[in-house]
Amino acid sequence: MIIAMRADASAEEISLVIERITSHGMTALNLPGGDRTVIGVASSIPADLREPLTDALQALPGVDHITHVSRIYKLASREFHASDTVVNVKGVEIGGNRVAVMAGPCAVESREQLAAAAEAVKGAGARILRGGAYKPRTSPYAFQGLGEEGLKLLKEIGAAVGMPTITEVMDQHDVDVVAEHADILQIGARNMQNFPLLVAVGRTRHPIVLKRGPSATIDELMLSAEYVLNQGNQSVILCERGVHPLDRTYLRNTLDLSAVPLMKSISHLPVIVDPSHSTGDWRFVASMSRAAVAAGADGLLIEVHPDPKAALCDGQQSLKPETFAALMESLGAVARAVGRSV
Ligand code: PEP
Ligand code: MN
């Protein structure tokens, strides 16, 4: 349920509406919009309460109109918020006209490696620096990331090149330390339904990149976004990173590109694409990046390594700096063709 207040509604009238909702044990979110306040009920409303509550709220002073959200997810839906959400991270907008490119190594390996990657991606036009410090590896014997040391390097190098940063948080107990060092918190595909983790990042006010699990439906992804949004964190960015493939002979995952316009139609949240994990092969990263921008993606998350052959993680899908620079050159024309810029 969404309660749109009149543009001239007073603070007392807004409080009265919120009190009426919370008196039934439900959560009310006060979302000051452009010219008016909108109050969202972020709980499911018992069937027998729906009509009497609607009537009672409609009768309160300052209430303009009430809309019911028909989707199972509420705060993530377009019905709830008609205009596109634009997430601003230190001046870089995700969800606006300009496509936001986030790039850097899969994992932070050393100061030298990250600095070389950061300078290369910044020079080529990326605006957000990626680098994993806590890596979700299939094998416990594989490089697990540098942990807090990696976070410190990411913060140091991000500041040195003047780029906001993104890194994955895997454990709810690490949320504070990751939030202290990085600008965007990434929820990896494997953790899309780690609900305590979603609640924990929802309690921060950092932008969250929420990756779609390889076997997750769109509704499952939306409901995971809802876990973050209903903690009061409105800065959620959805990420398509490929779903479980029919055939793994050639590609790591199948990039579900149709999910991009679909998610943008049902949700107001920005949608980005990770062409690296969705293909698993650097040779296809550029074409899938261009396809993602053509399909309406608000951003890209791309793995770039100064020396992919020596990478401790995901070297086979990482672009060399010069290949990334060539990709960035070609993205501009695609973006222009769909009325955007990079
Ligand atoms: C990553 O971005 O480094 C990563 C592990 O991605 P995913 O969660 O999509 O596998
Ligand atoms: Mn990776």
Confidence check: pLDDT of 212 > 70: yes
Mutate to test the pocket of ligand 1, among 185, 274, 288, 317 (most ligand atoms within 8 A of CB): 274
Residues 199-207 have a mean pLDDT of 97
- % of the chain exceeding 70 in pLDDT: 99
Q: Answer whether 213 contacts ligand 1 (Cβ < 6 A).
A: no
Residues 193-218 have a mean pLDDT of 98
Contact, 201 vs 173, CB < 8 A? Answer: no
What residues are paired with 300 via a beta bridge?
Answer: 101, 273
Cα distances from 213 to residues 6, 32, 143, 254, 275, in angstroms, run 40, 32, 22, 12, 15
Residues 191-219 have a mean pLDDT of 98
pLDDT of residue 43: 79
User: How far apart are alpha carbons 177 and 49 in whole angstroms?
Assistant: 42
Q: How would you class 339 by CB atoms within 10 Å of its CB: exposed for 0-12, middle for 13-18, buried for 19 or more?
A: exposed
- Residue 105 alpha carbon to ligand 2 centre in Å: 8
- Residue 44 alpha carbon to ligand 2 centre in Å: 37
Quickly state the pLDDT bin for 93 (edges 50, 70, 90). Answer: very high
**CA of 191, closest atom in ligand 1:** 8
CB-proximal residues (5 Å) to ion ligand 2 = 106, 314
Mean per-residue pLDDT over the chain, rounded: 96
Mutate to test the pocket of ligand 1, among 108, 135, 168 (most ligand atoms within 8 A of CB): 168
Q: Answer whether 305 contacts ligand 1 (Cβ < 6 A).
A: no
Structure tokens at 110: 């050393």
Handedness of CA 76, 168, 105, 214 (dihedral sign): negative
Residues 55-63 have a mean pLDDT of 95
pLDDT of residue 71: 87
Q: Answer whether 212 contacts ligand 1 (Cβ < 6 A).
A: no
What residues are paired with 211 via a beta bridge?
Answer: 239
pLDDT of residue 32: 62
Least confident interval from 16-30, 38-52, 99-113: 38-52
What residues are paired with 210 via a beta bridge?
Answer: 187, 238
Quickly state the pLDDT bin for 146 (edges 50, 70, 90). Answer: very high
Residues 118-128 have a mean pLDDT of 98
pLDDT of residue 172: 98
Model's pTM, two decimal places?
Answer: 0.93
What is the SS3 assignment for 39? strand
Ligand sitting nearest the alpha carbon of 166? 1
Tell me the per-residue pLDDT of 154-199, one tens digit each, with 9 for 90 and over: 999 999 999 999 999 999 999 999 999 999 999 999 999 999 999 9
Give the number of residues written for the chain: 342
User: How far apart are alpha carbons 65 and 263 in whole angstroms?
Assistant: 26
Torsion of CA 289, 124, 210, 149, to 10 degrees: 140
Strand pairing class (271-273; 299-303): parallel
Confidence check: pLDDT of 29 > 90: no
**CA of 241, closest atom in ligand 1:** 9
Contact, 293 vs 336, CB < 8 A? Answer: no
Q: Answer whether 132 contacts ligand 1 (Cβ < 6 A).
A: yes
Region label for 242, one of left (φ > 0), alpha (ψ between -120 and 50) or beta (otherwise): left
286: which residues sit within 8 A by CB, 6+ positions away? 275, 319, 323, 326, 327, 330
DSSP state of 80: T
pLDDT of residue 132: 98
pLDDT of residue 33: 61
Instruction: Give the gyration radius of the chain's Cα atoms.
Output: 21
